[in-house]
Amino acid sequence: MEFSFIDHVTITVSSGKGGRGAVSFRHEKYIPRGGPDGGKGGDGGAVIIKADTNTHLLRSFRSKKFLKAQDGHPGQSKNRTGKGGEDLVLPVPPWTIIFDEQNNLIADMFKCGSLVICKGGKGGLGNSSFATSVRQKPVKYQEGLPGQTKTIKLMIKMLGDVGIVGFPNVGKSTFISKISDAKPEIADYHFTTINPHLGMAEYDDKEILFVDIPGIVEGANSGRGLGLRFLSHIERSKILLIMLDGTDDPIKQYAVLINELKKYGKGISEKPKVIVVNKIDLMEKCEQYFDFPVFYISALKATNIDKLLEFIAGLI
């Protein structure tokens, strides 16, 4: 299965150079030796990053590592300013975070919406700007100023109310498909989910956004499996839904998952948690594995899902 989800990318962006100022003199009837009328060059185009609700991935940057705005056009006669360079607008998902080369945070696009990452170079002055009482026919002009060039890192950190965490094949994707219109791939083998999925559920006129990430396995913090790479997508979730397979030692699953979350750090393990034991339709009896509140559900049969959503809606 091809791994095509792009959640981070490094690109270099450059704004446009300012246009050169013009050297020109008036040529009018009865004024054979007119004064200077060279106009200013146009400003270079800026590079603007814009949060776009219709953009969900960074895939468009996979083959575009250098992106440049248009240069400003030269100034013209009759004191006409050259045409400005066209801005380069880069749409990114609203949950994109931008870092510089030293990994310093530049912007969270969810908060700022739009960001001018590189300002265009100013257009140069034409010779009309250099006329004086002493020098009435200057041939002096300015080149436009260069644009700015920056190398930046774009990283997706999804925004969801509830982040779903669990081993592979515990039924997370089935759960998402039951509570929302999302259609993740579902099959009876590990790592069916290799990309994060979003699912919107509604309960009592309240919308709840769930984020499903690939399953986590023991040793994920050391590089095993896929899930640890995607934990960044639930860093900003308000609640964690810990989903366990009721047919396969849920106590051990819970201990492993909590341990992996603690090793990942960044406060994820401290988030409020809702513990869910799935696949009760396959269990001989519904045992009380834990000494704290747990929801026992069947995602496949939609058993007890309404009660779970009611509880989560009350927490948000």
For position 58, which CATH number holds? 2.70.210.12
Closest listed residue to residue 190, CA positions, set 214, 155, 220, 209? 214
pLDDT of residue 57: 74
Contacts for 84 with CB less than 8 Å, ≥ 6 apart:
42, 43, 44, 45, 72, 73, 120, 123
Interhelix angle 305-315/172-179, rounded to 10 degrees, is: 80
Of 6-20, 104-118, 160-174, 200-214, which range is least confident?
200-214
pLDDT of residue 2: 35
Residue 70: domain span:
1-157
Domain end position, chosen among 110, 140, 157: 157
Give the confidence band of 4 by pLDDT, cuts at 50, 70, 90. very low
Pair 129, 8 in one domain: yes
Pair 117, 214 in one domain: no
User: pLDDT, tens digit, for every residue of 158-183?
Assistant: 767 898 999 888 888 889 888 876 55
Pair 129, 224 in one domain: no
Domain end position, chosen among 157, 189, 217: 157
**3-state DSSP call for residue 39?**
coil
* CATH code where residue 196 lies: 3.40.50.300
Spatial distance between the Cα atoms of 245 and 27, rounded to a whole number of angstroms: 86
Pair 296, 174 in one domain: yes
pLDDT at 187 over 50: no
Pair 168, 307 in one domain: yes
pLDDT of residue 27: 82
Number of domain units in the chain: 2
- Give me 222's structure tokens: 């050391």
C-alpha separations of 49 from 69, 98, 102, 148 in Å: 12, 10, 19, 14
State the sign of the Cα–Cα–Cα–Cα dihedral 102, 104, 107, 111: positive
H helix intervals, the chain: 109-112, 172-179, 250-264, 305-315
Spatial distance between the Cα atoms of 271 and 164, rounded to a whole number of angstroms: 12
**Concatenated DSSP letters of 226-250:** SGGGGGGGGTT-SEEEEEEETTS-H
Pair 241, 297 in one domain: yes
Pair 102, 216 in one domain: no
Q: What is the CA radius of gyration of the chain?
A: 29
Query: How much is the mean pLDDT over the chain?
Result: 85
- Give me 176's structure tokens: 């998402």
Pair 5, 121 in one domain: yes
pLDDT of residue 211: 84
Pair 132, 168 in one domain: no
Pair 199, 311 in one domain: yes
**3-state DSSP call for residue 234?**
helix
Other CB atoms closer than 10 Å to residue 168's CB: what's the count?
18
pLDDT of residue 184: 42
Spatial distance between the Cα atoms of 160 and 142, rounded to a whole number of angstroms: 52
C-alpha separations of 47 from 124, 192, 218, 307, 312 in Å: 20, 38, 43, 48, 41
Closest listed residue to residue 261, CA positions, set 272, 250, 276? 272
pTM of structure = 0.67
User: pLDDT, tens digit, for every residue of 265-289?
Assistant: 878 888 999 999 999 888 876 666 6
pLDDT at 90 over 60: yes
Domain end position, chosen among 128, 157, 186: 157
What is the CA 272 to chain-centroid distance, rounded?
25
pLDDT at 69 over 90: yes
- Give me 304's structure tokens: 């007890």
Other CB atoms closer than 10 Å to residue 67's CB: what's the count?
14
Count, residues in the chain:
316
pLDDT at 185 over 50: no
Pair 174, 304 in one domain: yes
DSSP 137: S
Pair 187, 76 in one domain: no
pLDDT of residue 215: 77
Spatial distance between the Cα atoms of 316 and 312, rounded to a whole number of angstroms: 7
Give the residue, 141 or 173, on which the prediction is more confident.
Answer: 141
> What is the mean pLDDT of the segment spanning 107-114?
90
